[in-house]
Amino acid sequence: MLDTSPVNMENAINAINEVYTNVLRQKCPSLYIGPVNSPYDAAVAEALLQYHTENHTDFSGNDELNEIIFKQIEEYYNNTLPFSIKELTIDNQCEGNRNPRLVLYDYFYKDVNDDQDHLKYLIKIGEVCGGWTPLNNVVIIQHRAEEIHLDDNGRLHNEHGPAIKFRGNNNRANVYAIHGQKVSVEP
C-alpha cells in the first residue's frame, strides 16, 4: 500500500467504477478529474467544481473539464484566479493507499477469508491511487504521494524533510513527522 508510483488514470477509473457498480449500486460518474497531486489540490479542485456548478458552467467533456480545472488550480496557487472560491474542505475525500485501515482490511479479506466482499473494491482503489473525491457525477482522483519515509518501526519519520511528500510544487499537504509524531514545521 506504500506504492509511490504515479497514478494510472485508467486503472483508477476502473477501480472507482467497480465501487459504484458493486458496492454503491449507483450509476458510474461520467466525469473524472485528475490526477491531482495532493489532498490540498483535490480540495481546490472540489471548490472550483462547486463554483462552476453554481454558475452553470457548461463543459463539453472530460478533457475540457480537466484542462480548465488544472489551469485554475495553478491560478489559485499564483493568486491570479479571476474569481473567489468557497472555503476548502477535505470532508468528501476518501483515502486510497494512504489509508492504514486498508492494510488491515486486506489482511482480513485475503488471509482470514472474512466475508466482506465489498472491501475488495476499496482495497483495489488503495492499490491504484492516493485518494479520490466522489461528488455528484464527478470524481477527483489523486496521485499517490511521491515519497513516504518510515523509521525502523514502520512509523512516519524524516528528520530532513517531509515524511510524506506529495507531487508538484505545492507543499501545503506534505506531512512532517518524527518517529510517528506529527510536527508542525520542517524538522
Q: What is the pLDDT of residue 147?
A: 93
pLDDT < 70: residue spans in the chain: 1, 96-117, 186-187
pTM of the model: 0.84
Q: What is the pLDDT of residue 153?
A: 93
Assess whether 140 and 151 both reside in one domain.
Answer: no
pLDDT of amino acid 136: 84
Q: Is the same domain home to 126 and 174?
A: no
pLDDT at residue 120, rounded to an integer? 78
Cell triple for 99: 489509508
Is position 3 within any domain?
no
Residue 40, domain member (yes or no)? yes
Domain span at 160 = 147-187
Cα–Cα distance list, 62 to 15, 30, 46, 53 (Å): 18, 8, 15, 15
What is the reported pLDDT for 43? 94
